């Protein structure tokens, strides 16, 4: 899947974007298929794990992309421009909702059917759920750089460009985000918590 996404991403070049700018639905669908998982992931972590709200946010982002892409002039990388749109949409959603939903059982992304009996895998799943909950509690200025780094795999320079800040600020925010994650989840700093 990862490989397919990389291949597809390599095919999103000027001509596809140009076709999207002319309103071509098929080109837009190619764009959607390429970036949907990345955009949805950021949305779902940004709204505290509520998949229904993340659905709405992701739809809004792509609808906005469909109209706003005409304004894309190629002055920055397309991905930078796209993630800027995603970050702004997530921040708008936060302002609209005024408070974050707690990461409750009804909204948790874990799928019990995926759980395998092996103790280590189960422990890793538990850790991942705890991290998701802790991420949801971070301030957006710390959460978004973490999502762009670990979900999208962006470099510090790319994150800085998306967030409109300096590379040093990205480094500092990631540092503080990591530090807060570690403090909130210090009880996981033990091999047994990871099933080891």
Question: Which among 13, 136, 157, 26 is positioned nearest to 83, based on CA atoms?
Answer: 157
Instruction: Round to whole Å and give the CA distance between 172 and 146.
Output: 11
Q: Which is nearer to other proteins, 98 or 187 (CB)?
A: 187
Angle, in degrees to the nearest 10, between helices 119-137 and 25-46: 90
Max intra-chain CA distance, the chain: 56
What are the tokens at 20?
């999207």
Question: Which among 102, 155, 91 is positioned nearest to 133, based on CA atoms?
Answer: 102
Question: Which among 76, 75, 83 is positioned nearest to 145, based on CA atoms?
Answer: 83
Query: Please, what is the minimum distance in Å from the beta carbon of residue 152 to other proteins?
Result: 9
Reduced to 3 states, what is the DSSP secondary structure of residue 84?
Answer: helix
Q: Which is nearer to other proteins, 98 or 117 (CB)?
A: 117
Examine residue 18 and tell whether it contacts other proteins (CB under 8 A): yes
Query: Please, what is the minimum distance in Å from the beta carbon of residue 173 to other proteins?
Result: 9
Examine residue 118 and tell whether it contacts other proteins (CB under 8 A): no
Query: Please, what is the minimum distance in Å from the beta carbon of residue 165 to other proteins?
Result: 15
Q: Which is nearer to other proteins, 81 or 134 (CB)?
A: 134
Question: Which among 61, 68, 133 is positioned nearest to 92, based on CA atoms?
Answer: 61
Q: Which stretch binds other proteins (CB under 8 A): 23-31, 71-79, 88-96, 97-105?
A: 23-31
Query: Could you list the residues that contact other proteins (CB under 8 A)?
Result: 2-4, 7-8, 11, 13, 15-16, 18-19, 22-27, 29-30, 32-33, 36-41, 44-45, 51, 54-55, 58-59, 62-63, 66, 109, 124, 127-128, 131-132, 134-135, 146-147, 149-151, 155-156, 167, 171-172, 174-175, 177-183, 185-186, 188-189
């Amino acid at each position: 899947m990862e490989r397919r996404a990389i291949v597809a991403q390599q095919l999103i070049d000027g001509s596809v974007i140009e076709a999207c700018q002319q309103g071509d639905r098929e080109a837009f669908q190619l764009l959607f298929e390429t970036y949907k998982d990345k955009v949805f992931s950021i949305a779902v972590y940004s709204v505290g794990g509520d998949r229904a709200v993340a659905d709405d946010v992701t739809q809004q982002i792509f609808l906005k992309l469909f109209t706003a892409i005409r304004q894309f002039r190629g002055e920055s990388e397309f991905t930078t421009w796209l993630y800027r749109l995603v970050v702004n949409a997530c921040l708008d959603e936060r302002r609209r909702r005024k408070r974050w939903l707690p990461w409750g059982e009804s909204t948790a992304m874990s799928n019990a059917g995926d759980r395998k009996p092996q103790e280590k895998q189960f422990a890793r799943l538990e850790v991942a759920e705890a991290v998701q909950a802790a991420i949801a509690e971070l301030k957006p200025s710390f959460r978004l750089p973490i999502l762009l780094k670990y979900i999208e795999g962006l470099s510090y320079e790319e994150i800085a460009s998306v967030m409109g800040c300096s590379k040093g600020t990205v480094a500092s925010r990631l540092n503080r985000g990591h530090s807060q994650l570690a403090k909130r989840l210090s009880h996981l700093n033990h091999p047994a918590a990871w099933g080891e």
